Amino acid sequence: MTRRKKPSQTAPFVFTQETLHLTEEAITLFEQPLHRADRQNPKVALAEETIKQIKEKLALMKQSIGFLCLTTFDYNEKLLLVQALRAYSLVLLSLPMNAQQAREIHLCSQIAASFADEDAEAERARPDL
């Protein structure tokens, strides 16, 4: 008999005011090209809907600072968050570097890595079909 491994859980990422603001900035930058895209394209529609859901969740977290607010992100939301944060990091890298930018790049990397690690863990736990 084969023993099943229990899926290990990754530690949740805890958003602060600073990381919430940074994530909102990244999402705002990421959605700009969507305004020029073909809204009839189902992929564009999915991206717009996913960004809308992310923004709603971030707004809810922002309102509940100081309270316990558990929020989950689905696969598509995590994927967009990771890509938005990576794109925002690239924008920050293209500007003259200062201490604040270095901190923001580091935070973007931490947040993106947290969501990317969760996805990798979920893929490993998934049984082969």
Whether residue 92 has pLDDT greater than 90? yes
What pLDDT shows up at residue 84?
96
In DSSP notation, 19-48 reads HHHHHHHHHHHHHGGGGGS-TTSHHHHHHH
Is 10 domain-assigned?
A: no
Residue 69 in contact with residue 61, Cβ under 8 Å? yes
Is 35 domain-assigned?
A: yes
Is 8 domain-assigned?
A: no
What pLDDT shows up at residue 116?
85
Q: Number of folded domains in the chain?
A: 1
C-alpha 31/C-alpha 125 separation (Å) is: 31
Task: For residue 114, give its domain range.
Answer: 17-121
- Taking only the tens place, the pLDDT of each residue in 62-85 is 888 666 667 889 999 999 999 999
What pLDDT shows up at residue 35?
87
Is 129 domain-assigned?
A: no
- Taking only the tens place, the pLDDT of each residue in 9-53 is 555 677 888 999 999 999 999 999 988 988 889 999 999 999 999
